[in-house]
Amino acid sequence: MKEFGQHLTIDASQCNRKKLTDQSFVYDILNKLPGKVGMTKMTLPYVVKWLDPGATVEGISGFVTIAESHISIHTFPEKDYVFMDVFSCRNFDVNKAFELLTKVFEAKKFTKKVVKRGIDFPRSHPEHIYLKA
**Annotated active-site positions, please?**
69, 74, 89
37, HSE (Cβ side, Cα atoms, 13 Å): 28
